[in-house]
C-alpha cells in the first residue's frame, strides 16, 4: 500500500484523521502557523504541524490552513475570523500538547456543542430516511413503492423462484 510509506504513515489513516479533537468554531476562516524547521524553541510547533495539522484539515474543510516555514524568528499561530479580527497565539518553546490544549480551549467548539450538532445531524428530517426512529418504519409506506411481501404477495414475475426457474 503506497499510502503507508513515509514518516509516520498512521497520519494518513482515516481512523487517525477522525480522532482529531480540533473542530473550530464557525467564526474561524483562516488558520496559519509560522515556525522554523530548526531550533529548539520551534520543536513544539514542528511537532504540532506534523501530528495535528492533518486532523485540523480533515475536521475543518471550510477553514483555510496555511503553514509558513523559516520566515519568523519565533513560532506563532495567527487566526483570521469572519468578523475581520485576527487572533495571535505565541507558541514559542511550548510542547505540541500545550499548543493543542490552548487552541482547543480558545478556538474550538466544546464537547457539548459537538454532541448537540451530532444529535441535530442524526435527527435531520429527510423524507428519504426510514426505519426505526424515523417517521416511516418501512419503504413500503411511501406511495408508489411495492408493498411488503408479508402483506401483499409479490407477483410471480418479480420472484426469483419463478424468474430463474428452469422451464425446459
Dihedral (Cα; 6, 11, 14, 17), 10-degree rounding: -160
Of the chain, the end-to-end C-alpha distance in Å amounts to 50
CATH classification at residue 92: 3.40.30.10
pLDDT digit string (tens) for 50-83? 999 999 999 999 999 999 999 999 999 999 999 9
pLDDT digit string (tens) for 131-164? 877 778 888 888 888 888 778 888 888 888 888 8
- Do 38 and 80 lie in a common domain? yes
- Do 31 and 62 lie in a common domain? yes
pTM over 0.85: no
- Do 136 and 112 lie in a common domain? no
pLDDT digit string (tens) for 15-54? 999 999 999 999 999 999 999 999 999 999 999 999 999 9
- Do 99 and 74 lie in a common domain? yes
User: Residue 127: what pLDDT?
Assistant: 72
User: Residue 123: what pLDDT?
Assistant: 63
Number of domains in the chain: 2
* Cβ contact 29:78 at 8 Å: no
- Do 97 and 137 lie in a common domain? no
pLDDT digit string (tens) for 79-115? 999 999 999 999 999 999 999 999 999 999 999 999 9
User: Residue 3: what pLDDT?
Assistant: 61
- Do 88 and 47 lie in a common domain? yes
User: Residue 168: what pLDDT?
Assistant: 60
> Of residues 115 and 128, which shows the higher confidence score?
115
d(CA 60, CA 125): 24
Copy the grid coordinates of residue 8: 509516520
* Range of the structural domain that residue 137 is part of: 126-168
Provide the sign of the torsion angle of the four alpha carbons 134, 136, 138, 144, taken in this order.
negative
- Do 88 and 21 lie in a common domain? yes
Amino acid at each position: 500500500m503506497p499510502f503507508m510509506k513515509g514518516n509516520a504513515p498512521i497520519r494518513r489513516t482515516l481512523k487517525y484523521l477522525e480522532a482529531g479533537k480540533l473542530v473550530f468554531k464557525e467564526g474561524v476562516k483562516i488558520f496559519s502557523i509560522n515556525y522554523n524547521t530548526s531550533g529548539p524553541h520551534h520543536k513544539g510547533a514542528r511537532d504540532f504541524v506534523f501530528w495535528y495539522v492533518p486532523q485540523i484539515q480533515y475536521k475543518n474543510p471550510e477553514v483555510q490552513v496555511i503553514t509558513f516555514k523559516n520566515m519568523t524568528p519565533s513560532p506563532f499561530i495567527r487566526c483570521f475570523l469572519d468578523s475581520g479580527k485576527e487572533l495571535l497565539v505565541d507558541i514559542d518553546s511550548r510542547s505540541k500538547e500545550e499548543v493543542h490544549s490552548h487552541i482547543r480551549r480558545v478556538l474550538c467548539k466544546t464537547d457539548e456543542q459537538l454532541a448537540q450538532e451530532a444529535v441535530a445531524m442524526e435527527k435531520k428530517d429527510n423524507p428519504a430516511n426510514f426505519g426505526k426512529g424515523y417517521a416511516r418504519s418501512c419503504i413500503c409506506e411511501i406511495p408508489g413503492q411495492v408493498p411488503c411481501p408479508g402483506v401483499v404477495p409479490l407477483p410471480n414475475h418479480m420472484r426469483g423462484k419463478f424468474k430463474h426457474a428452469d422451464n425446459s
